[in-house]
Homo-oligomer: A and B are copies of this chain.
Amino acid sequence: MFKPARHGEVGGVSLQRSQQQKPLRSHDRFNLCAEMSHKIVNLRVRDVRFPTSLEQHGSDAMHTDPDYSAAYVVLDTDSGLKGFGLTFTLGKGTEIVLCAVKALAGLVIGKSLQEIVSNFRGFYRLLTSDGQMRWLGPEKGVIHLATAAVLNAVWDLWARAEGKYHAMYLSIQDPKQIVSCIDFRYITDVLTEEEALDILVKAQEGKKQREDQMLKEGYPAYTTSCAWLGYSDQQLKQLCSDALKSGWTRFKVKVGADLEDDIRRCRLIRKMIGPSSTLMIDANQRWDVAEAISWVSRLAEVKPLWIEEPTSPDDILGHAAISKALAPLGIGVATGEQCHNRVMFKQFLQASALQFVQIDSCRLGSVNENLAVLLMAYKFQVPVCPHAGGVGLCELVQHLILFDYICVSADLRNRMCEYVDHLHEHFTSPVVIQDAHYMPPKDPGYSCEMLEESGLYFKHFTFVQYKHWRGKNILKLSHKRTGLKMSKEKVFQKAWGTEINFLQSSFSVTVNRIFFFLLIKVPSFSESFDFFLILFGLSFIM
């Protein structure tokens, strides 16, 4: 399980495209790209779901059966260059995020990349502060997840274009350009534009050495793959043993469902990894404040570095109380994967409510908002240890943490990036882990382009479902693609449960498109339009 992700294993259509694009790295093409405006002519979004709950991957105290999923965005430009972005979800409700992405599309299509990045702060605010849509947030929940998906695609496009054509983390190197991407609204009481610029300019010293160091050694990682809550003790031991062999020294264990069970599991892991390895525990928001303090105190014997998400992600003062109570035990508080924007992070830092900042590449408003949080964390001298895992989170966040080390913090003490070994095989440029370190991505962009066939994963299930319903169980295809050992019944159950909505909407949209196409393009169809008015009428009655 702990093999490094495979760089060579890209396949199908995307591999071909990837190969075609590589010559663009040559110097001649740089100028060609720079001259193009890359006008965004289309935005496509797909509902991609993986049945991870079938084997309890990702299970924790609050999310007992996640199906790792994504709202996957592709930006098409008039130059032919594409931008790929996504936001991570847990299955049900991904269609809501898609709906939100579509609502934002009108603000993106028609703009050129040049236009966007020359006033990136303005563009960020355009998406997050629309006079009507901001009511749905503002800057939180579904609409902010959708903003992240769109902006992640813009950052990917930017890294591939403008003569840079390199890994995204290298796009954010010029201090002035960096601050021009950040919306400082609501955080100036803690960080002004001038302070941010000052931090970045000072960090220019030694930048080259740190970049070289990263290319050679990589960025330290920890693993969460060993101890999901739904795993048996045997599974846990096996995974832990494999991980140790692969060089892992930092381990996270899910806790919070049952105290005695937690004690047993944590002791088991601590015994296996020994006293010198690092152990973290994660409750995924299971407790109230007092309960968190007493529960974690009982687990102090296994010497965890931090307790992650002990209570509601919104409870800044609660986290502050827990931090204060656990400090004498040497246990820090970590949170952030559901911290919904920079205003919340600002307060967590102001209130000394966390000792580890866990940024998320999809929960916050993409790179723009993460830059603000990285700079605030630096100001408060709190280490950043990003949240990753899910679908594509490792691929995305590695760029942010590399940027943090090279251009902001210049510090590796108490810093590491989460790693989970699932679903990387669906990306054209999967993360590369060597000796428990993230190796800097070398392919152009923000590393979240999916294989063409993986983007269709969800639809494939629909096909399985249809065939099953017709009484012909041809589920072999399913087994082959998922690589999971699941029974036919389970596949069908999953397929039926989550994908019927998509089946409906996909079909509807098509019929609709045909209808509108005919209406606009074919004169005779337009003449006989009154017939279709009846259909309209029917649609309002039903």
Contact = CB atoms under 8 A, between A and B. Distances in A.
Contacts of A510: 535, 538-539, 542
A529 B472 CA distance: 15
Most B CB atoms within 10 A — which of A99, A459, A540? A99
Most B CB atoms within 10 A — which of A97, A129, A131, A343? A131
A133 B93 CA distance: 6
B185 A317 contact: no
Nearest to A390: B135
A135 B312 CA distance: 12
A364 to B, nearest CB: 13
A464 to B, nearest CB: 13
Given A95-B99, A289-B189, A132 B63 contact: yes
Interface in A338-379: 338, 340-341, 343-344, 346-347, 350-351
A493 to B, nearest CB: 15
A512 B92 CA distance: 21
How many copies of the polypeptide does the oligomer hold? 2
A515 interface: yes
A136 B145 contact: yes
A137 interface: yes
Contacts of A512: 504, 507-508, 511
Interface residues of A, number: 88
Interface of A: 62-67, 89-93, 95-97, 99-100, 102-103, 129-145, 185-189, 285, 288-290, 311-318, 321, 338, 340-341, 343-344, 346-347, 350-351, 456, 459, 466, 470, 501, 504-516, 529, 533, 535-536, 538-540, 542
Given A139-B314, A188-B288, A314-B347, 20 more contacts: A90-B135, A96-B96, A96-B100, A96-B103, A138-B313, A141-B143, A142-B142, A187-B288, A314-B341, A314-B344, A315-B347, A318-B347, A508-B508, A508-B509, A508-B511, A509-B539, A509-B542, A510-B538, A510-B539, A511-B511
